[in-house]
Structure 1
């Protein structure tokens, strides 16, 4: 889909476009516009066609304007809505100051024009010669057609209070043998930059850091393919940051190779970075699961003993739920807030640390915790991709526990001592045991042991070439395999609360004699694989996907006893060694989260196209 560009006048900056569904990315129309039967969407052009009386509401996750975020963080010397099309419509803009507390900010009849019609909001919001003061609330547009009409494009535009900040954006995409996905992402981005790059007012260049050496990227002046050893996401993004520094870029955007997103992400991110008052302004993109494109998976996250995704489960089709989330998004971020590297833009000059060599999992947490970025989330800046529960395996759980323990050892403001960190390790282990995922529990014990080896372990295993297959080999019962002929098992039903509490007390029957005879069996859908309640009261559980691949886990008290015995011995060792471990890891962090460390792993050759990138003139 190629949507018509929103017209902007000289000296204006397009803050965000009224974006429409793109079936190739997300076809959940209620995330974009709420409309009655008098409004039809042209999927190819993104235009809305109105019959007389047709009504369209744009107070959605993709298209509301978060006045609180933009006015507090950015120097705005003007603010307006620009609409283009044909026909006569009644336009109303409301401001929702708090949940269920909205006021009409502007309301007028307009005759749409292909050249664009402007609804000024600046003075209605108290703007003056000193600019727009910090505001609260969400701006929502409503259109009602008075006769046949067509909306081709629209958006929120602004004039900067002072000269906009210069933005030269290095986009670092780390990939490993996902040739089709990274080629498609690169092609979509370059096509957009070729078409709209001049209007963005910023230079942008893509660095495809190819950890697998197999990516085939079409030659383009805005793209450099960079071969890199397989150092995981941490090494790939470290290479991207180094290239951003060497290329004199002002900002860097870290992106996953399989991230699927509309190009509006770039429009809003670049506009925000150009207008931000803070030198440390950063943008964290949200993430939505490909399996449930109507539900928020993570709108930023907080690291407080555990990773705590923000607003997980929010139904983005529900206007009240979206308003609640976005009103909260305008508040200062809590301590420990971090952004996922599926989409994270930050100022290069503020990067005092490089990624820590976790290989994958935890590098984005560590990077945010080590920097004082002024990070925001912007509604509609979101990536659609496979969620973490779908990717869960003994290896990923090994990596998760390893980084959780390391974060608490290294960052002084996370200090919780040997008892607190032991509780974290036991929490991970018991979650796996309760779910009868003993392979995963054994991998987590290995993670605990590896952290106790000190920072030298991470230094020697930056590429995980030796340790990764050893951990993957632990997946015996939890290895996915074809099982098309397996007899179906009953589906799990969510139990009452009291039953869940009882199962917690018994560790899901591990403390109950003869549990294998007393408990039942169930089959769990892939969408519920990361949950615990489907396994309550079960002694055998099968996980199977739509392609007939899956695995089964069964209750095993002998393995449970062996794992707990190992865990208790490790906890004793951990408590004794904790002061020395903490000191060693903090010293090692200074050495390993540094460019000097990574340069010993990078190839000597630097792509010549870094210096040959074509500049895009700023507006």
Structure 2
């Protein structure tokens, strides 16, 4: 008798919705292109040497938005859902999750063609499949169509999306979603708590809470919103708070604590979520953002289905220019240990002018080192393993956390289609105000913990170069704060918790002692510019054209510090310098200058002070030499203290003010 070979048992699966097709929560024509677009027009002729741009699309109108999930396609017109919030980022799901195939399901009213497309990492577009839908007899139920789509060809990038071309009578996309069959043990969605840290932005917090409570899908997985209020203008006193609280239906908790910065607020949110023992994830969120709630649901679903515990972050649009995708993904250059965009040549994308479908840069998968804490979903299992944030107050807490997580095998993924609107950092320069202290100290703390290069690679050298530039530019308050930061760094990690709630007052006092920190809002606050010695041939300062020119200007600026100050410069600035032109080599040419702030709200009067320059330069040389020598021992000191610095028990002492 021959043995019978049993057929392999197919693992049990369940159907999970990966992302819904959604329309805007608010009636804002500016952001509609992030959800739907019309048929692309022929691209314009591009002159030689100019960058080719994606073709514009036929305008869609808010009147076509019928509900959160339904959209009217006009007769004989095409609507594409190949947009930021509705295309499917296939390469991310292939790379990081257990999903190997997706199903697109579309419910249509009326007669229309449905066409599915895909792209690859180069941005090449391929038509995949199509079907004709005829109007059914039931004018309310609609007709369901589906497409099974493999993820096997999306190794380095690419999206799926679909277009709808309506027949003579028009059509309505009643609903659509991207689904997948996943292992049975992934059936139950994880739940989350949202931790919002705020300082005197009550109206922003109320608006954000209103968005969180406006989406039933988000509410179905939301355990709690924890608002950590560190200011004296409270969201609970703001107009609209009661309504926002009602929308969250008992899921809101407001905690008032001392101002411990972003890291103190977010660590409190992590700690409270750990203690509650009911959420799978904690979502870190800035207070001054506007969100797409569906993106939060997508981030949680992505984390549910990731192969290993994964930090899932959202991208950032500009709050002021809302179709502008400002941040796609962030990395840390390891030799310099400095942050920046993964796509070095990208300055962002206007998705109302250059569609997702025709912008090649948007089709490549972007792998990141960290995600900004404007919106980041962290598994509670990761928090339990690696602890809370470092007590950094602000700056580098988000970057350091992902670097620490990566050491335990936890990746960070910045997921397209999950995003917030936030004030872009291009409209400010916080390296020139009180935050200069935290930029300097926290960058070094992160490098001491995570740099793989001896003595941090270039970081000490680059810090000294930047310090010299600030001194040549007469930015003495910035130079003083940077030295203060390095002195605290050298004192060891014990200062970090001890000074978390008090150091800001010291920083502000030190900064206030320097004239370059005084900002006047009145355009007529300063005397008219006058100069004793006019520039040669009446020409202004020209920017250096190469490295030799840059070094020459640095030498000229250094020699100038040995010369006495021209008397007239004490009563009249020698120039007015726009913020965009306020480079060190420009400011080094003047004995005094009025310099506008980067946000355009005022200006400061910089005065060259040779004695102060020499004093600060002497200290700068000494401290950077000391830091370079002490690096190996200092690195070990910070690494050995990490468990205490990020431990929940140590943080709770700080929350209680036991310092």
- TM-score w.r.t. structure 2 length? 0.76
CA distance in 1, matches of 2:84, 2:583: 30
| 8 Å CA contact retained: 1:394, 1:440 | yes
Q: 1:121 aligns with which of 128, 144, 147?
A: 147
- Assess, with a 3 A threshold, how the Cα gap between structure 1 residues 269 and 155 changes in structure 2: closer, same or farther: farther
Give the distance between the partners of 2:548 and 2:177, measured in 1 at CA.
Answer: 50
1:161 corresponds to: 182
CA contact (8 A) 1:483 1:548 kept: no
How many angstroms apart in 1 are the aligned matches of 2:14 and 2:319?
38
Q: 1:406 to 1:37 in 2, by over 3 A?
A: closer
CA distance in 2, matches of 1:152, 1:343: 30
Residues 481/33 of structure 1: CA separation in 2 closer, same or farther (3 Å cut)? farther
Mapped partners of 1:323, 1:82: distance in 2: 26
- 1:143 is aligned to 2:164: yes
Question: C-alpha deviations, 1:551-578, integer Å up to 9, x for none?
Answer: 3446666654443222112122223433
The alpha-carbon deviation at position 461 of structure 1 amounts to 0.4
Larger Rg: 2
Question: Is the Cα–Cα contact under 8 Å of residues 87 and 161 in structure 2 kept in the other structure?
Answer: yes
1:264 — aligned with what? 294
Cα distance in 2, alignment partners of residues 329 and 27 from structure 1: 26
SS at match of 2:545: helix
User: Given that residues 81 and 162 in structure 2 are in contact (C-alpha distance below 8 angstroms), is that contact kept between their aligned partners in structure 1?
Assistant: yes
**CA distance in structure 1 between the aligned counterparts of 2:24 and 2:545, rounded to whole angstroms:** 43
1:379 aligns to what SS in structure 2? strand
Cα RMSD (Å) of the superposition? 3.8
1:16 aligns with 2:19: yes
Q: 1:589-612, CA deviations, whole angstroms, 9 ceiling, x for partnerless residues?
A: 2311111211112349xxxxxxxx
The structure-2 alpha-carbon separation of the partners of 1:185 and 1:40, relative to structure 1 and needing over 3 Å to count, comes to closer
Q: 1:26/1:230 Cα in 2 relative to 1: closer, same or farther (>3 Å)? A: farther
Partner of 2:120: 97
| Residues 425 and 537 (structure 1), Cα distance of their counterparts in 2 relative to 1, 3 Å cut | closer
Change (3 A) 1:522 1:138: farther
1:286 aligns with: 315
Higher deviation after alignment, 342-351 or 583-592:
583-592
In 1, the alpha carbon distance for the partners of 2:483 and 2:542 equals 30
- 1:522 and 1:147 map into 2 onto residues whose CA distance is 63
Query: Please, which of 448, 460, 467 is the counterpart of residue 409 of structure 1?
Result: 448
Distance 1:58 1:349 in 2: 36
Measure how far apart 1:522 and its partner are. Answer: 5.3
Cα distance, 1:116 vs. partner? 5.6
Aligned match for 1:76, one of 81, 85, 99: 99
Cα deviation, residue 512, structure 1: 6.3
CA contact 1:302–1:310 (8 Å) conserved in 2:
yes
User: TM-score with structure 1 length normalisation?
Assistant: 0.81
Mark the runs of 5 or more structure 1 residues left unpaired by the alignment: 1-9, 605-619
2:364 equivalent among 324, 328, 334:
328
Contact kept? 1:85, 1:114, Cα under 8 Å = no
Equivalent position of 1:42 in the other structure: 63
Cα 1:376–1:167 shift into 2, 3 Å: same
Deviation at 1:417, TM superposition (A): 0.7
Q: SS in structure 2 opposite 1:173? A: strand
Given candidates 269, 277, 280, the residue that maps to 1:250 is 280
Distance 1:504 1:558 in 2: 23
2:231 — aligned with what?
A: 212
Aligned to 2:623: 570
Deviation of 1:175 (Å): 1.4
Q: Tell me, in whole angstroms, the C-alpha distance in 1 between the residues paired with 2:77 and 2:304.
A: 37
Alignment pair present for 1:175 and 2:198: yes
| Change in CA separation of 1:58 and 1:523 when aligned onto 2, cut-off 3 Å | farther
Cα gap change, 1:495 to 1:340, in 2 (>3 Å): farther
Cα displacement (A) at 1:230: 2.1
SS, match of residue 71 in structure 1: helix
Distance 1:24 1:485 in 2: 41
Secondary structure, aligned partner of 2:654: coil
Which stretch of structure 1 is more off in the superposition, 292-301 or 400-409?
A: 292-301
1:469 CA drift (Å): 2.9
Q: 2:396 aligns to what?
A: 362
Find the counterpart in structure 2 of residue 450 from structure 1.
488
1:244-288 deviations in Å (ceiling 9; x for gaps) = 21222211111111121221222211221232232x122111223
- Which residue is 2:76 aligned to? 53
Equivalent residue number for residue 607 of structure 1: none
Q: CA deviation at 1:65?
A: 1.4
- Shifted more, 255-264 versus 544-553: the winner is 544-553
SS at match of 1:60: coil
Unaligned runs of 5+ in 2: 1-12, 39-56, 530-539, 567-572
Q: Per-residue deviation at 1:481?
A: 2.7
How big is each residue's C-alpha offset from its partner over 1:323-358, in whole Å with a ceiling of 9 and x where there is no partner? 54444325xx36xx0111111101111222211111
Shift of 1:396: 1.3
**What is residue 374 of structure 2 aligned with on the other side?**
342
The alignment status of 1:550 with 2:603, answered yes or no, reads yes
| Cα 1:548/1:446, change in 2 over 3 Å | closer
Gap change, CA 1:442 and 1:544, over 3 Å in 2 = closer
Equivalent residue for 2:42? none
> Structure 1 475/554 Cα, relative in aligned 2: closer, same or farther at 3 Å?
closer
- Note if 1:594 corresponds to 2:594: no
The 1:541–1:534 alpha-carbon spacing in structure 2 relative to 1, beyond 3 Å, is farther
Tell me if the contact between 1:190 and 1:222 (Cα under 8 Å) persists in the aligned partners. Answer: no
Compared CA separation, residues 126 and 262, structure 1 to 2 (3 A): closer
Equivalent in 520, 527, 538 of residue 481 of structure 1: 520
1:307 is matched with 339
SS of the residue corresponding to residue 76 of structure 2 reads: coil
CA distance 1:542–1:205, change in 2 (3 Å): same
SS at match of 2:183: coil
The match for 1:438 is 476
